[in-house]
């Protein structure tokens, strides 16, 4: 089975802190994604990556950055956390570069910024 | 750009009743279509997908969805629901050309009443 592991289920951070959310997949997938999930808004894409050291902006990249130094690991960085970044963050991976035929999701990280 | 609209944010039904969750999409190119399910406090799991071939696709737990190209729809149905189907359901699309990403609808919360 494909496994996508997010390093924390719950995080509480203070406004202005730098926050790292880590995601690891174990199936040698090409593509990795970061989404945030908010009630009534569904899942919105923050950033995605189809190769090591490559990244593409999604629909809501402002206030976020990402890092993909190794194929299996995709990190989401909040440079200076703000209360409007309180949300559920979901990482996903998919196998084939160029097409998304299926995506596998981690359990999510619920981030609260106080 | 593609978009996905789930017409109902909440759908309450009685146990053993039929249910339909509606999904419409907008895209200028061909798409793949997906339904994901999220049980309480869990990540997203793939329920079913349409990539090609028969326009009617089925899941292992009795759900089915039909791709209707002329109406740009991919509605999800189940003839008789169970309490365990209580969850949030997300419709998603990915493009066969262009950006390699999965775009989600807003989600539909399905509540089953005994």
User: Residue A18: helix, strand or coil by DSSP?
Assistant: coil
Tell me which residue in A42, A99, A103 faces B105 most closely, judged by beta carbons. A42
B5-16 burial, b if ≥16 CB within 10 A, otherwise e? ebeeeebebeee
Residues of A in contact with B106 (CB under 8 A): 40-42
Segments in chain A below pLDDT 70: 2
Phi, psi of A2 (to 5 degrees): -70, 140
pLDDT digits (tens, 9 = 90+) for B20-50: 999 999 988 888 999 999 998 888 999 999 9
* Percent share of chain A, pLDDT over 70: 98
Ramachandran bin of B50, using left for φ above 0, alpha for ψ from -120 to 50, beta for the remaining angles: beta
**B83: DSSP letter:** G
Of the residues B37, B100, B107, the best mutation for testing chain A's interface (the one with the most A CB atoms within 10 Å of its CB) is B100
């Amino acid at each position: 089975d494909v496994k996508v592991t997010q390093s924390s289920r719950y995080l509480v951070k203070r406004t202005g802190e730098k926050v790292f959310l880590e995601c690891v997949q174990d199936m040698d997938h090409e593509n990795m994604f970061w989404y945030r999930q908010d009630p009534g808004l569904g899942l919105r894409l923050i950033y995605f990556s189809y190769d090591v050291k490559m990244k593409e902006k999604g629909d809501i990249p402002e206030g976020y950055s990402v890092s993909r130094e190794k194929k299996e690991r995709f990190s989401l960085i909040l440079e200076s956390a703000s209360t409007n970044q309180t949300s559920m963050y979901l990482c996903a991976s998919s196998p084939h570069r160029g097409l998304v035929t299926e995506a596998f999701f981690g359990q999510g990280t619920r981030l609260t910024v106080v | 750009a593609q978009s996905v609209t789930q017409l109902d944010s909440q759908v309450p039904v009685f146990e053993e009743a039929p249910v339909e969750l509606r999904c419409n999409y907008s895209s200028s190119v061909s798409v793949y279509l997906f339904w994901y399910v999220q049980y309480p406090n869990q990540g997203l799991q793939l329920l079913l997908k349409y990539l090609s071939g028969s326009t009617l696709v089925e899941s292992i737990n009795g759900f089915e969805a039909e791709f209707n190209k002329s109406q740009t729809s991919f509605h999800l149905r189940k003839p008789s629901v169970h309490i365990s189907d209580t969850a949030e359901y997300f419709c998603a699309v990915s493009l066969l050309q262009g950006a390699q990403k999965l775009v989600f609808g807003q989600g539909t919360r399905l509540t089953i009443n005994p």
